[in-house]
Amino acid sequence: MATRSKKENEKNERLLSVIHLKTHFYIEDIVVKAVDGIDFSIQKNEILGIVGESGSGKSVCALSILRLLPPEPSCKISGQIYFKNENLLELNESQMQKIRGAEISMIFQEPTTSLNPVLTIGEQIAESIKLHQKLDHRKTWEKVVEMLTLVKIPEPFRRAKEYPHEISGGMKQRVMIAMALSCNPSLLIADEPTTALDVTTQKQILYLIKELQKKLRTSVIFITHNLGIIAEVADKVMVMYAGKILEYAPVNDIFHQPGHPYTLSLLKSIPRLDVSRGIRLKVIPGSLPNPIDKIQGCPFHPRCEFVKDICRKKEPELKKIGDNQFVGCWMYNNEEAIHFKKII
pLDDT tens string 52-75: 999 999 999 999 999 999 998 999
Report residue 6's pLDDT band, with 50, 70 and 90 as the boundaries.
low
Q: Is residue 228 part of a domain?
A: no
Considering the chain, what percentage of its residues have pLDDT values greater than 90? 64
What is the rounded distance in angstroms from the CA atom of residue 76 to the CA atom of residue 88?
Answer: 14
Q: How many Cβ atoms sit within 10 Å of the Cβ of residue 225?
A: 17
Q: Is residue 267 part of a domain?
A: yes
To the question of pTM greater than 0.75 for the whole model, the response is yes
Determine whether 92 is exposed, middle or buried from the number of CB atoms within 10 Å of its CB (0-12, 13-18, 19+): exposed
Count of domains forming the chain: 1
What domain range is 321 assigned to?
Answer: 256-272+282-344
Across the range 246-258, mean pLDDT stands at 93
**Residue 131 is inside which H or E element, if any?**
helix 121-133
Q: Is residue 342 part of a domain?
A: yes
Least confident of 5-14, 34-43, 201-210, 295-304: 5-14
Q: Is residue 179 part of a domain?
A: no
Report residue 333's pLDDT band, with 50, 70 and 90 as the boundaries.
low
Helices first, then strands: H and E counts in the chain: 14, 12
Q: Is residue 153 part of a domain?
A: no
Q: Is residue 247 part of a domain?
A: no
Q: Is residue 331 part of a domain?
A: yes
Return the C-alpha torsion angle 158, 172, 231, 220, nearest 10: 80
What is the rounded distance in angstroms from the CA atom of residue 208 to the CA atom of residue 204?
Answer: 6
Give the per-residue pLDDT at 194: 84
In three-state secondary structure terms, 159 is helix
Across the range 27-48, mean pLDDT stands at 94
Q: Are 108 and 177 in contact (CB under 8 A)?
A: no
What is the rounded distance in angstroms from the CA atom of residue 42 to the CA atom of residue 30?
Answer: 33
Q: Is residue 76 part of a domain?
A: no
Q: Are 182 and 147 in contact (CB under 8 A)?
A: yes
Across the range 6-31, mean pLDDT stands at 83
